[in-house]
Amino acid sequence: MTDQNWAEVDDYFTGALLSPDPVLDDALADSAAAGLPRIAVAPNQGKLLNLLARQAGARSILEVGTLGGYSTIWLARALPAGGKLVTCEYEPKHAEVAKANLARAGFGEDVVDIRVGAALDTLPTLTGPFDFIFVDADKNNLGNYVRAVLDLSRPGTTIVVDNVVRAGRVIDAGSTDPDVLGVREMVDVLAAEPRLDATAVQTVGTKGHDGFVLALVR
């Protein structure tokens, strides 16, 4: 299998199982037009986040790493009436693009609260507990993010962490890449933290070879 085949399989399942969605398409198009990097979750991954959040019965969702709000829209759509989502983003420009994309998706500031700043500064100012947490910001800080969001969780909170495989680079114990070191530190936190029960799953598709962590707070 090649990256090309993986992408074609993603396209097949996405075409078969996801409804056409101009709001999500426009969010990606406007993000690209504004010069944001094209690193949002894939459509089938966005739907996985939506399904997981619904399965968790999430009424409060925390996201770390907003970008243009693509994954945010998928997650906000999982909320019941009265539900709330807080999303943390470092770049003011990304937050502005996300705000417009979310507004077009029907989510105003009453539902989605975009907090601009370094997430490690923002997280300690938030009030938990959150029912569902998606970590998808800078990878060098993954260990710190998992530690910080644990303080915003409760027993039963679901935590998903994106991009934990990075084309297999995660297994290079001698790596000096800060992103790889961040992933490995996070794995150490997951392994050592008695409050967390976690697994990691590799993925292939339009985003290449990567993977995610799924953790449940005990």
Binding site for ligand SAH (CB under 6 A): 39-41, 65-67, 70-71, 88-91, 94, 118-119, 136-138
Regarding beta strands 112-116 and 84-89, do their DSSP bridges make them parallel or antiparallel, or are they unpaired? parallel
Residue with tokens 């993000």: 31
Residue 163 in the binding site for Mg ion (CB under 5 A) = yes
CB of 8 to Mg ion, least distance (A): 21
CB of 94 to ligand SAH, least distance (A): 4
Residues 6+ apart with CB under 8 A from 168: 209
Q: Would you say 90 and 116 are in contact if contact means Cβ atoms under 8 Å apart?
A: yes
Residue 210 in the binding site for Mg ion (CB under 5 A) = no
Residue 89: name its binding partner from ligand SAH, ligand DHB, Mg ion, none (Cβ under 5 to 8 Å by kind).
Answer: ligand SAH
Cβ-in-10-Å burial (0-12, 13-18, 19+) of 3 comes to middle
CB of 60 to ligand SAH, least distance (A): 17
Q: Any idea what DSSP says for residue 204?
A: -
Please list every residue from 118 through 177 that binds ligand DHB, using CB under 6 A.
136, 162-163
Residue 211: name its binding partner from Mg ion, ligand DHB, ligand SAH, none (Cβ under 5 to 8 Å by kind).
Answer: none
Q: Would you say 104 and 84 are in contact if contact means Cβ atoms under 8 Å apart?
A: no
Q: Which residues lie across from 161 on neighbouring strands?
A: 135, 213
SS (H, E, C) 115-181: EECCHHHHHHHCCCCCCEEEECCCHHHHHHHHHHHHCCCCCCCEEEEECCCCCCHHHCCCCCCHHHH
User: Can you tell me the distance from the alpha carbon of 163 to that of 105, in angstroms, rounded to the nearest whole number?
Assistant: 26
CB of 110 to ligand DHB, least distance (A): 27
Residue 10 in the binding site for ligand DHB (CB under 6 A) = no
Based on CB atoms, which residue is closest to Mg ion, 59 or 120? 120
When computed from its CA atoms, the radius of gyration of the chain, rounded to whole angstroms, is: 16
CB of 174 to ligand SAH, least distance (A): 25
Tell me, by CB under 5 A, how many residues bind Mg ion.
Answer: 3
Based on CB atoms, which residue is closest to ligand SAH, 139 or 184? 139
CB of 123 to ligand SAH, least distance (A): 9
Q: Give residues in contact with Mg ion (CB under 5 A).
A: 136, 162-163
Give the residues lining the site for ligand DHB (CB under 6 A).
39, 136, 162-163
